[in-house]
Amino acid sequence: MVSTVSKSHIRLLSDPRPKRRAAAARAPRAETGLGFRPALPEDVPWVQGWTASLRLPTPGSARVRGFVLTDQGRRIGYLAARATAFNTGQGREPVMWIVSAFLLPSHRGKGLLAKFCELMSPTQFPFGKAAARIATDNVRMHRFMAKGGWRKVRTTARYTDYVLDLTSPFKANRRR
């Protein structure tokens, strides 16, 4: 016995209230071409040039995973992280420790670093927490951390350690 279902494309009833289009749906999304990929050997001179000019550490450990951040397939940034255990204030927990991160100057100030973390979190940050150490004199990054929901864990005269629970603003480990 074969049963079939007939579907009509004609709507007999219409919604009495017109649907308002969201502003986000009308405005073109800037992040549509954002992506990331593992850093390749041919990326090393590019990364070293930027990390040297920004006085950032160039990761050299085999435990550190480097990612090139892309927009429309072009390199616009870099993020290096390693899995480790860290005291987040509730005991030692597994975190992805962000060793180094930067965006090209033309892409800074647009919230892209947070968007890249959101893109990467489901596959690259399985623990649901990220941690970073920010130098005391880096006022711009401290503002970014406060605005992005990062929680201060420890402060010294030279640096502040921050932790971000990726389940709240991002999609890692988010239960459906």
Domains of the chain: 31-165 (3.40.630.30)
The per-residue pLDDT for range 25-72, each reduced to its tens digit, is: 333 344 468 999 999 989 989 988 888 887 777 777 788 889 999 999
What DSSP character marks residue 158? S
Over residues 73-83, mean pLDDT: 91
| pTM for the model | 0.68
Report the C-alpha gap between 34 and 72 in whole angstroms. 6
Which tokens is 4 given? 């079939």
In DSSP terms, which residues pair with 69 in a beta bridge?
A: 36, 77
Which tokens is 62 given? 């085999």
